[in-house]
Amino acid sequence: MSKPKVILTRKWPAEAEAKAQELFDVVLNEDDHKMSVEELKAAMQNADAVCPTVSDFQINEEILGVDGRTCKIVSNFGVGFNNIDTDAAKAAGVVVTNTPEVLTDCTADIAMSLLLTVSRRVGEGERLVRDKQWDGWCPTHMLATKVTGKKLGFIGFGRIAQAVAQKAHFGFGMEISFYDPYPPADEVIKKFSATQLDTVEDVLEGADFVTLHCPGGGSNTNLMNAERLGMMKNSAFLINTARGDVVDEPALVQALKDGVIAGAGLDVFAKEPTVTEDLLSMENVVLLPHLGSATTETRVAMGLRSLANVKAFFDGDEPGDRVA
């Protein structure tokens, strides 16, 4: 019996690619180029399964509706799946899966890294040393913001947010508050002595740090706009490891310039890999190139999870991570 044909839209870690070659008739992206819309359409016409990533063009109605489509499952390499039009996939009868859980800890690590780096001015200090501009220790040099014991507010309180809370509350004694329309079980809230609030605005008004853990797209586009940024303390910091479009970047630039908030730590951007130009020269912003899940262990695990979903589908089982 022939193996299902699977196309990987980007280069994967070697261990995950080897597993793909073992399980399927797989086509690899050897030079790791970003596939064009025409290439994605061709993939839909020439494979039984396509495994895309967040960095691809959106898998939309045009791509899913291409004539002669043979693809039956789109198995995303990533926990977020706003790079796939799930309504169009449902209409076309194409299954969609993602890769939750396996990237939780590493993404939470990056959120805490951003929080610490921006509040303690680590990026500024590192640049100062590299530029040979540091002239020695003194009592008032590069005074920053203490983290331990401060109030950390969450917009969204799912798996990754809870992993951040674990580090922040038990490691740094931070007080946890959150807003989530789908809150976790009471025992989770009690574990962190967390305060559940009724609105996004309630979180913003009381927090020393605000960290975003909500889906991108839809009604969450520009969730953090000028009005909401204005509700934060002028001593507060915004951290985003969720999706770039959750933050109105021009509004964030203005808020940072005007001292509406103290700083921001960003791992994601609205139009990746393009970053709003003004952010690049700001010392009170830490910018990372979407590193949330970027450890070898996690990226391998994401690939294996994506492949497991494809295997389950062609074995006649329900994929464990089906989202559409």
For residue range 201-215, what is the model confidence (pLDDT) as tens digits?
999 999 999 999 999
The CA-to-CA distance between both ends of the chain, in Å, stands at 28
**What does the pLDDT average to over 119-123?**
98
pLDDT at res. 88: 97
CA distance 216 to 80: 8
Of 179, 288, 170, the residue nearest 239 (C-alpha): 288
| CATH of 5-101+296-314 among 3.40.50.2300, 3.50.30.10, 3.40.50.720, 3.40.980.20 | 3.40.50.720
Q: Show the tokens assigned to 321.
A: 């991570």
Of the pLDDT bands very low, low, confident and very high (cuts 50, 70, 90), residue 1 is confident
238 CB neighbour count, 10 Å cutoff? 29
pLDDT at res. 144: 98
Of the pLDDT bands very low, low, confident and very high (cuts 50, 70, 90), residue 107 is very high
Of the pLDDT bands very low, low, confident and very high (cuts 50, 70, 90), residue 250 is very high
Cα distances (Å, whole numbers) of residue 25 to 5, 38, 79, 215, 273: 5, 21, 24, 33, 31
**What does the pLDDT average to over 71-78?**
98
Of the pLDDT bands very low, low, confident and very high (cuts 50, 70, 90), residue 141 is very high
pLDDT in tens, 172-200: 999 999 999 999 999 999 999 999 999 99
Cα distances (Å, whole numbers) of residue 54 to 1, 49, 58, 98: 33, 17, 8, 11
Q: Are strands 209-212 and 175-179 parallel, antiparallel or unpaired?
A: unpaired
**What does the pLDDT average to over 1-10?**
95
CB 320 within 8 A of CB 312: yes
pLDDT at 129 over 80: yes
Domain boundaries in the chain?
5-101+296-314, 104-287
Query: Which residues are the active-site residues?
Result: 243, 272, 290
Class of domain 104-287: alpha beta
Helix, coil or strand: residue 256: helix
Residues 20, 22, 27, 29: is their CA dihedral positive or negative?
A: positive
pLDDT in tens, 142-183: 999 999 999 999 999 999 999 999 999 999 999 999 999 999
Q: Hey, which bits of 95-142 come out as E strands?
A: 95-97
Average pLDDT, the chain: 97
**What does the pLDDT average to over 214-222?**
94
pLDDT in tens, 271-313: 999 999 999 999 999 999 999 999 999 999 999 999 999 999 9
